[in-house]
Structure 1
Amino acid sequence: MKQNTGIITALLCLISFSSVAKVDDLKQEVKISAASQEADIKNNQIIFNGPVEVVQGSVKINADKLRAFTKEGSNGRILVATGNPATYSQIMEDGRPANASAKEIRYELSKRTLILKGNATLEQDGSQVTGNQIQYNIEKQQLIAESTGSERVITIIQPENYQDESKPKTDSNKETQPETKPEIPVEPAVNAQEIE
């Protein structure tokens, strides 16, 4: 099958993915919680059965199953999360969230790279890239999206004033009047001795 490749890096300045990832996240420990786990010591891998949650700073991955292993001749840990879909989220330096989903999410910790495979989507602030595979370098903010066969890479870019329009509008022509509270009648106090 012929692959059509769309390099989206040049569009990053147009869409919101140009926000910088939190550098602190990449220095945090990785915590994995799962329903159960199996260790394959011979092949240097651990399989976590779901639901599985991976947390590294503000990075969160949720999956049905996770495989953690180290490539031979390398000390870089690789996490492969699978699900229907598996999801990834991270809070960027400016406080805005970035979200991704795919049937498989491969997170290479030493390379700081995400590879999303199968119905892959990466989204931030309403802007979105979808394709069969998306490779995203978290640290360098570089993205490559690919499709296979007749499928296409789809990019949706929100208008510049998208954030402004999503906020509730106020009528600037109205004069603001001080809020008046209705007066509540006060009953005279009753002396306890008068009640029999």
Structure 2
Amino acid sequence: MSHNNRYSRAQAALLFSGLVCMLSIPAVAKQGDLKQELKISSVSQSADIKNNQIIFNGPVTIVQGTININADELRAFTPENSTSKRLIATGKPATFSQELDDGKIGTASANEITYDLATTTLTLSGNAKLNQAGSQVTGNRIKYNITAQELIAESTGKGQDRVITIIQPDNFQNESAPKQKLPEIPVNKQIKP
């Protein structure tokens, strides 16, 4: 195997591990958050009972455990012929943050953040960004199924618009951590007769 081929494989393995770490934000999120009460604070609200919809005018703050969503407006509704409940937060941008089990904060922002409570799917639309520990995924639309742990990031496909992933070196290895010393291997000594 050539040196370049080994180097390329090492880079690919490093990139894959970084992506797995980066994209597992909700997998290590505080487990009890979704079992906490959901508190919505807004300037005003209006309800359309006939259409199962409440509109909160902002600024709007949503708190559930360590989850925080900030938006200019929030619509909470049940789509027709469905048991699914949805929250749609809009803003310039609307923001999402959650404390992870390791104490770090994962954040997201977009023009629109949709959370489908039945499918546990978070969809970021328009200038979507997902951040953890300085690493980031950006695109026009990012969709994450929390239960299935599946992420899809998309661009508009127009012009220079692309999905961009930036992975910080700290996510690969912590250089400030003490170097581990390898155990010494005993040398066989020959005993002379």
Q: TM-score range by the shorter chain?
A: 0.7 to 0.9
Within 1, Cα distance between the matches of 2:30 and 2:88?
A: 22
Q: How many residues are matched?
A: 159
Identity across the alignment (%)? 61
Matches within 5 A, 1:137-148: 137-148=145-156
Match of 2:50 among 39, 42, 47: 42
Relative to structure 2, which stretch is displaced further, 101-110 or 90-99? 90-99
Relative to structure 2, which stretch is displaced further, 133-142 or 34-43? 133-142
Q: Which amino acid is the alignment partner of residue 116 of structure 2?
A: E
Match of 1:112 among 112, 120, 123: 120
Within 2, Cα distance between the matches of 1:61 and 1:42?
A: 27
Higher helix share: 2
Say if 2:72 and 2:92, in contact at 8 Å, map to a contact too. yes
Deviation at 1:160, TM superposition (A): 4.1
Deviation at 1:94, TM superposition (A): 2.0
Question: Which segments of 5 or more consecutive residues in structure 1 lack a partner in the other structure?
Answer: 1-9, 170-196
Does 1:70 pair with 2:70? no
Cα deviation, 1:66-122, whole Å, max 9, x if unaligned, reads 000012232221000000000000112222211000000001112111100000000
Q: Which amino acid is the alignment partner of residue 162 of structure 2?
A: R
Greater Rg over alpha carbons, structure = 1
Q: Which amino acid is the alignment partner of residue 53 of structure 1?
A: T
Within 1, Cα distance between the matches of 2:66 and 2:38?
A: 11
Say if 2:33 and 2:66, in contact at 8 Å, map to a contact too. yes
Distance 1:163 1:96, change over 3 A: farther
Distance 1:14 1:36, change over 3 A: same
Distance 1:23 1:155, change over 3 A: same
Q: Which amino acid is the alignment partner of residue 112 of structure 1?
A: T
Question: Which segments of 5 or more consecutive residues in structure 2 lack a partner in the other structure?
Answer: 1-15, 178-193
Match of 1:99 among 97, 107, 111: 107
Within 2, Cα distance between the matches of 1:11 and 1:104?
A: 29
Distance 1:161 1:120, change over 3 A: closer
Within 2, Cα distance between the matches of 1:12 and 1:144?
A: 16
Match of 2:165 among 137, 155, 158: 155
Q: Which amino acid is the alignment partner of residue 121 of structure 1?
A: K
Within 2, Cα distance between the matches of 1:123 and 1:37?
A: 31
Within 2, Cα distance between the matches of 1:152 and 1:143?
A: 16
Deviation at 1:138, TM superposition (A): 2.5
Q: RCO (CA 8 Å, sep 6+): is it higher in 1 or 2? A: 1
| Structure 1 length-normalised TM | 0.73
Does 1:16 pair with 2:26? no
Does 1:56 pair with 2:64? yes
Within 1, Cα distance between the matches of 2:162 and 2:22?
A: 21
Say if 2:121 and 2:146, in contact at 8 Å, map to a contact too. yes
Measured on the aligned residues, the alpha-carbon RMSD in Å equals 2.3
Q: Which amino acid is the alignment partner of residue 35 of structure 1?
A: V
